[in-house]
Structure formats: C-alpha cells, structure tokens
Structure 1
Amino acid sequence: DINVLQSTMLQELSSHAMDIYDYLLAGVDPRLKSYPLMQSPVPMTVILLCYLFFVLYLGPCIMANRKPFQLKEAMIFYNFALVALSTVIVYEFLMSGWVTTYTWRCDPIDTSDSPEALRMVRVAWLFWFSKIIELMDTIFFVLRKKHGQVTFLHIFHHSFMPWTWWWGVSYAPGGMGSFHAMVNSTVHIIMYFYYGLSAAGPRFQKFLWWKKYMTAIQLIQFVLVSLHVTQYYFMDSCDYQFPLIIHLVWIYGTFFFVLFSNFWIQAYVKGKRLPKQDIKQSLNGTAVHTNGRHQENGTSIGINHGASNGSSNGCVHHENSSKMKKA
C-alpha cells in the first residue's frame, strides 16, 4: 500500500534525522552545558527566526502608519555598552591564551579544566552571546524607519553569524579558530564607538571625519583573518581538532572581503551609494556628513532597499528606488 510505504519512509527519515541530531549534540563541549542557550540549538534558532520575522515583516507592518521613533538616548547607551562589552571580550581572549600560551600559528583547543582553558570557554560563549545582543542593530533600524540600511548583507550577517558561531563555540571554544572572534571584537570597539558618537547628534559630527576609514578597517579585519587561517594549509602538520572551522573561517573572511571591497569601490571610488550632495566630498576623500546625515549602526552594503510610498495589507513594502543592485 502506497500510504503505508510513505508512512514507513517518513518514520525512517525522522529516525535518521534524530540520530544525526543526537550525534551532533554528543560532540558539544561538556564545559558549555551550563551556559545559557547552549543545551540545544533550538532556542538559538527560534530567536533568530523571530528576529527575521520581526525585521522583514512584523516590524515594517507595525511602523507602516507610525512616525519613526527617535531613540537617541537608547542608542547612545546601547552603542557605548557594546564598546565596553567588546573591550572586555578582547581582553579576555588575550589573557585566555593569545598573549600567554598561544603561538599565533597552529594552536589547538585546550580541552582541560585549567583556569585558562575555562576562561577561554567563557569568553568564546560571551562573544557568541554578543552577536545575539547585536540583533538590536536591525531592530533600531526598523523602529526608526531606516529601511535603506536594512540590506540583504546586513540581515545575512546578523542572522547567519550567530547561528554558525553557536556550533563553533559548542565544538571548538578556543584554539586558532578563535582568532577571528578576537579581531572582530577589536573592530567592534572602534565601530560602536563611532556609532555612539554618531547617535549623539550633529554637535559631534566634527569628531567623525574618519567615517570613510570604517570600511578600510573592516577590510583589514578580513585580510588578517584570512591570512591567519591560510597558515593551516601550508603547515606540515597541525593538531587543531576541527579543521572544518578553519575552512569556514577562510571562506567567510574571503567572502566578506569581496563584498566590502565592492562597497568601497561603489561608495568611495564611484560615489554611487552616497547622497548626491555627498558624492563630491567623498570623491575628494573628505568625510561625508552633509547636514548632519550619517550612517548609524550599520553599513549600506548589499542589496539596498528604499521604502516605497505604497502599502498592502497594512504593511510597508521595501523596494529599490531603481533597479535591484547586487552586493
């Protein structure tokens, strides 16, 4: 009977899926079992799905007929709080191995329960959790109706990185695979400090002349990360326990280097992604702050969506003002 056969196949597939799930969870570092949201990938996945639902549908629906929130004080606090958190993360990464016992080449994961190894586990989890906090970047955009900054790359980065890093932290909290987390947190100290000043208002514009170099700092980040993991491919031997993470970090660094390079060319060489009043300033190499306009909590990278005037079923649709532009 066809129905019995289909039911049997579904049961077998379900059984195999559960076996794979149990196998994956069995490999999770037992030292992380007591940390929040680390017992299973389900809560983390639910959080990210709720984030996507809000920023892509629910948030724009709620804000469709409302004026944008200002949120100045909240954003100032948020950005400078992330500066402080990122500073702590960088310090903890350094003291957990990178300036104590690591060689900056092939550094395996310390799986012991030594104080330094447990410190690395803690900061690896803290770095991952900071990515959950940073989902607020996009929520601020939606509440302030900054639809042009809710780009494809922005959403992809904020949702994909926390999901992949959950698995990275679960299996490999430390070792050479944690280098990119330390570098990323260093960049975030600079980035959120810029955003904090930017959110403070026009009187701080004179201190933001280095806006253009934010993209350059991001590019340097990806170069450093890619170069560091590239060492692995030229070593005679390396006992780092999870080579897959090395491959993923290399792909991730290279992928974003290409996308950020394209943004640099479009924004600062061709001037295509800036307001018309700012193009001349940008091409001359000066800072872009005409009439107090500035980017806050994100870079306009990827597919740029502008808010349209029309609505359907009470929701604002975000469409390009011209043709869709690929990242």
Structure 2
Amino acid sequence: MELTTHLINDTINLYKWALTIADKRVEKWPLMDNPLPTLAISSSYLLFLWLGPKYMQNREPFQLKKTLILYNFSMVVFNFFICKELFLAARAAGYSYICQSVDYSDDPNEVRIAAALWWYFISKGVEYLDTVFFILRKKFNQVSFLHVYHHCTMFTLWWIGIKWVAGGQSFFGAHMNAAIHVLMYLYYGLASFGPKIQKYLWWKKYLTVIQMVRDPFTVT
C-alpha cells in the first residue's frame, strides 16, 4: 500500500514538473488544458467498441450512404487544409524536412504550424467515426486490433505531442499523413457512391503501396 502511494505521488509530481516545460502557446487552446477530456473521449470510444456490436447484434446494418459521402469528403477538405497550412507555414519558416528543432516563440509562422498540428490532433479524434460507421454497418471484420490500437493511441499521443512539441520535426509526420489522408478519404468518398463509381477506382492498389511506404517514416 505504501509503495502504491509513493508511485502515485511520484507520478503526480512528474506530471506537475512536466507542465512547467509544456508549450505555453497552446495551454488555453480547446482540450489542451489537461488530458482528461481527451482521455474521456478515448474511453467513450472504447466503451462504444464494447456496446456497439451488442446493440447491432439483432439489428439490420445501417446503410449510411449519404452520411459516408458527406463524412469522407469533409475529411478530404479537412486534411487538405491541414496539409496546406503545414506546407505553407513550414516553407515560410524555412523548415528542414530532415531535422528541425521546436521554436516556442510567438513568431506567426511557428504559431501557424502549432495551430495546424492542433487541427491534426483534432482530426485524430474525428477519425473515431471510422470505427463507429464500421460497427453501425456491421462491418465487424474491419475493426481489427490494429485498427483500434491505431485510432485510440494516435488521438492520445498527439495530445502529448501538441502539449509539449507543437512544432519542429513533428510537422513532418503530420504533413505526410494529412496528404495521404486526402487521397484515402477521397477514395472512400468515391467508393461510397456504389458500384457505378467503384469500377473506376483502379488506383486503390497504388494508395495501399503509398500507405505501406509511409508507415516506417511516420506515426499516424
């Protein structure tokens, strides 16, 4: 019991110390004051993973065609915005794609990069809807361990990224991933129209190759 108390106190003290070196520019931004809202959203996601299939067990799958079209094309626009902001701001700030330190100043380009990375963090939360739609459509085979691990950890880990390193080399992975997500959600959006459009989506295999090449270089 005493050991547990010490561990809890040490963890709290470590967190308090970590807050002293956090990025002051982002502390008042939505969800960034403390990790509890982010953890609550992720916990709700995991709860839905447990309750969702039970709810759908004896029900017909939802089609959600219009919802999926709207969602996927909205994500195309969202990721294009993030990609564009990171590209323009990083170029204006003279960023290196190989090794770039974090600048915590209030330089307009640095703040713009931090803001774009915050939007990227938000996009990871929005992507929880990918899983929600799979479950409502009873596409349970799509909800693999890797799928859940990817979605759940990225939203949480990017909170840490924005809290302490909203800039520097972290822009590279977000930039690359947002660009690929433009193509990915474009494919999903077009595929949502049905067989008449799907037959023209011959480029899916190239999208898969791009995603495989990307993975060793960026966490998404």
Task: Give the TM bin, normalised by the shorter chain.
Answer: over 0.9
- The Cα offsets for residues 28-64 of structure 1, whole Å up to 9 and x where unpaired, read as 2111112111111121111111101211x10011111
Of 39, 56, 65, the residue aligned with 1:45 is: 39
- Residue aligning to 1:19: 13
SS, match of residue 32 in structure 1:
coil
Q: Distance in 2 between matches of 1:186 and 1:104?
A: 15
- Residue aligning to 1:131: 124
Q: By how many angstroms is 1:173 displaced?
A: 0.9
- The Cα offsets for residues 86-134 of structure 1, whole Å up to 9 and x where unpaired, read as 0000010011114651132221112110111110110010001000000
What is the CA RMSD across the aligned residues, in angstroms? 1.6
Unaligned runs of 5+ in 2: none
Residue 221 and residue 9 in structure 1: after superposition, are their counterparts in 2 closer, same or farther (change >3 A)?
Answer: closer
Q: Distance in 2 between matches of 1:157 and 1:14?
A: 28
What TM-score do you get using the length of structure 1 for normalisation?
A: 0.64
What TM-score do you get using the length of structure 2 for normalisation?
A: 0.94
- Residue aligning to 1:241: none
Q: Distance in 1 between matches of 2:18 and 2:44?
A: 24
Q: Distance in 2 between matches of 1:46 and 1:16?
A: 23
Query: Aligned pair 1:106/2:117, yes or no?
Result: no
Q: Distance in 2 between matches of 1:152 and 1:62?
A: 20
Query: Aligned pair 1:153/2:138, yes or no?
Result: no
- Residue aligning to 2:112: 119
SS, match of residue 106 in structure 2:
coil
Query: Aligned pair 1:165/2:158, yes or no?
Result: yes
Q: Distance in 1 between matches of 2:120 and 2:61?
A: 31
Q: By how many angstroms is 1:17 displaced?
A: 2.1
- Residue aligning to 1:309: none
> Which range moves more in the overlay, 70-79 or 46-55?
46-55
Q: By how many angstroms is 1:14 displaced?
A: 2.7
CA contact (8 A) 2:92 2:109 kept: no
Q: Distance in 1 between matches of 2:141 and 2:98?
A: 41
Q: Distance in 2 between matches of 1:71 and 1:206?
A: 20
Q: By how many angstroms is 1:83 displaced?
A: 0.2
CA contact (8 A) 2:117 2:162 kept: yes
The structure whose Rg is larger is: 1
Of 171, 195, 201, the residue aligned with 2:194 is: 201
Q: Distance in 1 between matches of 2:85 and 2:93?
A: 11
> Which range moves more in the overlay, 129-138 or 206-215?
206-215
SS, match of residue 169 in structure 2:
helix
Q: Distance in 1 between matches of 2:62 and 2:152?
A: 24
Query: Aligned pair 1:58/2:64, yes or no?
Result: no
Within a 5 Å distance, the mapping from 1:300-311 to structure 2 comes to none
Query: Aligned pair 1:87/2:83, yes or no?
Result: no
Amino acid at match of 1:199: S
Amino acid at match of 1:181: A
Q: Give the length in aligned residue pairs.
A: 220
